[in-house]
Amino acid sequence: MRSCPRPLPSNSLSLRTEKEKDPKYWRDQAQQTLKNALGLQKLNTNVAKNVIMFLGDGMGVSTVTAARILKGQLHHNPGEETTLEMDKFPFVALSKTYNTNAQVPDSAGTATAYLCGVKANEGTVGVSAATERSLCNTTQGNEVTSILRWAKDAGKSVGIVTTTRVNHATPSAAYAHSADRDWYSDNEMPPEALSQGCKDIAYQLMHNIRDIDVIMGGGRKYMYPKNRTDVEYEMDEKARGTRLDGLNLVDIWKSFKPRHKHSHFIWNRTELLTLDPYTVDYLLGLFEPGDMQYELNRNNVTDPSLSEMVEVAIQILQKNTKGFFLLVEGGRIDHGHHEGKAKQALHEAVEMDRAIGQAGTMTSVEDTLTVVTADHSHVFTFGGYTPRGNSIFGLAPMVSDTDKKPFTAILYGNGPGYKVVDGERENVSMVDYAHNNYQAQSAVPLRHETHGGEDVAVFAKGPMAHLLHGVHEQNYIPHVMAYAACIGANLDHCVAARSASSPAPGPLLLLLVMLPLRILF
């Protein structure tokens, strides 16, 4: 288990404070930033051989800021001045996250937007807004394909890495078409949907795009027949197989792979780290029956970290000379927030930032477009006039001027942290508010904290990253990624780009900026 941030040594903060008292410190910093910005006037208009999308589920701007501070404090710094890996990306935009029928969205409709390029109803994946949630008979004819499919059709390798179930909302929009995000296996589907011919999401993972090169995350139990004992949790009934159709989807996955190719199914960290990725053609890694463990709770023997999975995925995918598309989800940021457990959520965000850094060391901005964004925000906030270097999980420096009780800097607008003791707000000084599973106080009592509806950030670097530059509809994102990679339907600019890129790819692609973006459908 990771330790919480230690109190900042007073000399560390005082040394930094002394330096910051000198106006030259700030002026020099600003001038260097200006110099870096001026360097961006020469746009990177190469063709993106590779595209990597990092999706922080529930990673709103307040979460990004708090994760930045946590990262710094884990390195015994004040934290506020720390730079996340995503902070280093030269282009930043805002994404409007609403679903077609929801002001405050869910992760399924948003995933359809940023992967398939069209907005959709909440709770649906890989279908247009003509499909209504839970109504199987509204699915047929309304399916929409994703950038993962476009990349595979173009001959690229493709991969999915997540800390949730591999058939959860975010990854499922890459390959499935479902009227309901909760149809993980046929066990979770209503009889009517089954009789109408709809297939569960785990089934679609193995059948819709049979040659996904890398799949890693949780979700083992949805691949096996009902009540089959789990390989890791033999005595846990909740970990047993769920499928009513009796199918073993792992065996089916294996049967679909060509005999001359090397395919591997693994279920623990040891197997992952002992693989020789350069001899692996297809990899299916299912490390938990459901979602993977929180980073703070992770078993270092059985469960790999997100950055470890990303490293192996890229090693496998980058063998393809045509390049690759990789979707990486830090999915349990969202879960931590829903449970009111800010410490869990923020450590998940810091781990995703490590994975972003790992990917950056293995790729080049010359031929790899990397996009980091979120599907939606949460009603998570931190404030209270905390002093510089205050533990991100600490108390505000004053008590409430109304009930005379202390409060933590981190709070939620709603959620399970709402507690009343003897008719009054709980006194947080009487509880361990630094505990990994402490539920921060909320204004409104709910069993599960809710999403937020504000715009989320989009960070981009690499070829054509400058096309993510302002305030955009969320469904714009995959159109940019496809345009940069010359995949999908919008290919008018690609012939000139490819012919010119043979000796030295680069500015000749000014044509790319001039051509209008045509819709991919």
Tell me the pLDDT tens digit for each residue of 30-54: 999 899 888 888 899 999 999 999 9
Around 198, how many Cα atoms within 13 Å sit in the side-chain half-sphere?
A: 34
Give the residue-averaged pLDDT of 181-186. Answer: 98
Give the residue-averaged pLDDT of 289-311. Answer: 97
Would you state the pLDDT for residue 40?
82
On whether the CB atoms of residues 123 and 94 are closer than 8 A, the answer is: no
Q: pLDDT per residue over 187-199, tens digit each?
A: 999 999 999 999 9
Strands 263-266 and 214-218: unpaired
Would you state the pLDDT for residue 512?
40
Would you state the pLDDT for residue 13?
67
On whether the CB atoms of residues 428 and 406 are closer than 8 A, the answer is: yes
Would you state the pLDDT for residue 501?
52
- Residue 328: pLDDT over 60: yes
Torsion of CA 165, 171, 177, 183, to 10 degrees: 20
Per-residue confidence at 2, pLDDT binned at 50, 70, 90?
Answer: very low
Give the residue-averaged pLDDT of 329-351. Answer: 98
Would you state the pLDDT for residue 495?
75
Residues taking part in catalysis: 107
Three-state secondary structure readout of 264-278: EEECCHHHHHHCCHH
Q: pLDDT per residue over 386-426, tens digit each?
A: 999 999 999 999 999 999 999 999 999 999 999 999 999 99
H/E element, 218: strand 214-218
- Residue 490: pLDDT over 90: no
Give the residue-averaged pLDDT of 308-332. Answer: 98
- Residue 262: pLDDT over 90: yes
Q: Count the Cβ atoms, other than its own, within 10 Å of residue 227.
A: 10
Residues ≥6 apart with Cβ < 8 Å to 491 = none
Would you state the pLDDT for residue 496?
64
- Residue 513: pLDDT over 50: no
Q: Count the Cβ atoms, other than its own, within 10 Å of residue 25.
A: 13
Separation CA 332–CA 520 (nearest Å):
31
Give the residue-averaged pLDDT of 496-512. Answer: 48
Around 28, how many Cα atoms within 13 Å sit in the side-chain half-sphere?
A: 6
- Residue 359: pLDDT over 50: yes
The mean pLDDT value of the chain amounts to: 93
Both structure tokens of 317 = 């995918």
- Residue 112: pLDDT over 70: yes
Q: pTM, whole model, 2 decimals?
A: 0.93
Separation CA 51–CA 314 (nearest Å):
11
Task: Please tell me what DSSP assigns to residue 259.
Answer: T
Q: Which has the minimum average pLDDT: 3-7, 80-84, 159-163, 238-242? A: 3-7
Per-residue confidence at 280, pLDDT binned at 50, 70, 90?
Answer: very high
Give the residue-averaged pLDDT of 122-137. Answer: 98
- Residue 514: pLDDT over 90: no
